[in-house]
Each structure stands twice: as structure tokens, then as C-alpha cells.
Amino acid sequence: MEYKSNNNVVYSCKYHVVWCPKYRKKVLVVGVDVRLKELIHEVAIERQSEVIELEVMQNHVHLLIEVDPQYGIHRLVKQIKGRSSRVLREEFPWLKSRIPTLWTNSYFVSTVGGAPLEIVKQYIENQKNV
């Protein structure tokens, strides 16, 4: 098992996060999905987090990420959703006419401590084939 550290903590905090566009609309298509992946990676790098696996479906996102516990998964998800909503709605104006806001306020998060990491990665990789 690999551990990360900051000035105060040695950690291994991996999370499986899933969230959806408002009304679960199928709007993560035709370039939005590609740009969303770029934005998620940008925010993760800025917050010293590591994207382990990422899959963007038409109407939801699966993310497996390692996060510094002092920063927190809630703050990271909030930052990813906030920035991606703002940027995607600017770059893809048609999103504004489809839904009032890009994301719902809610999301699913689960720690990955109990499941083997390879199983969770495989699950996320196979989402498009389901």
C-alpha cells in the first residue's frame, strides 16, 4: 500500500465519488465530457489530490480519487463541481438552455478502504460497457 503525506499527516484516503447533472439530464456529451475530465484533473492537481480513475457518462460522473484528509473530500467535490459548472456553461452555452444549473447539490461518496482498489478501478472503467 502506498501512503502520501503532507507536513502533518501520513495518509491513504481514497474515495469513490458519483454525481449527476441536474434532473439527471444526458448533457455530458459532444465535448462536454472531454472538457469535464480536463477540469477535474486541473482541480485535483491544484489540491494535491490524485485522480486514480475517472469515467464520464452521459448523465453522471464516476471518480476514484485520493484526497488529503486535511483538505477533505467535501471541499474537493464542491470545488470540482463549482468550477466545472462555471467553465462548462461558459464554453458550452447550450447547457444554459437545457438546465438551470449544471449539477445537483447531492453526490455519493464511499471510502475504498474495504474493497480492493483494483476492483473499484475495474468497476469504474467498465461503466461505459454496462
Higher pLDDT, 39 or 130: 39
With cut-offs at 50, 70 and 90, classify the pLDDT of residue 114. low
Mean pLDDT for 2-7 is 86
> Grid coordinates in use for 76?
474537493
Which pLDDT score is estimated for 130? 60
Catalytic residue annotation: 123
Q: Is the pLDDT of residue 45 over 80?
A: yes
pLDDT of res. 71: 92
Read off the pLDDT of residues 83-100 as tens digits, 9 standing for 90 and up.
999 999 999 999 999 999
* Average pLDDT score over residue span 22-26: 96
Length of the chain: 130
Cβ partners under 8 Å of residue 1, min gap 6: 12
For 13-23, the pLDDT digits (tens) are 999 999 999 99
pLDDT reading at 47 higher than 90:
yes
Domain 7-129 has CATH 3.40.640.10: no
pLDDT at 116: 74
> Which residues lie below 8 Å from residue 52, measured CB to CB, with a gap of 6+?
14, 64, 65, 66, 117, 121
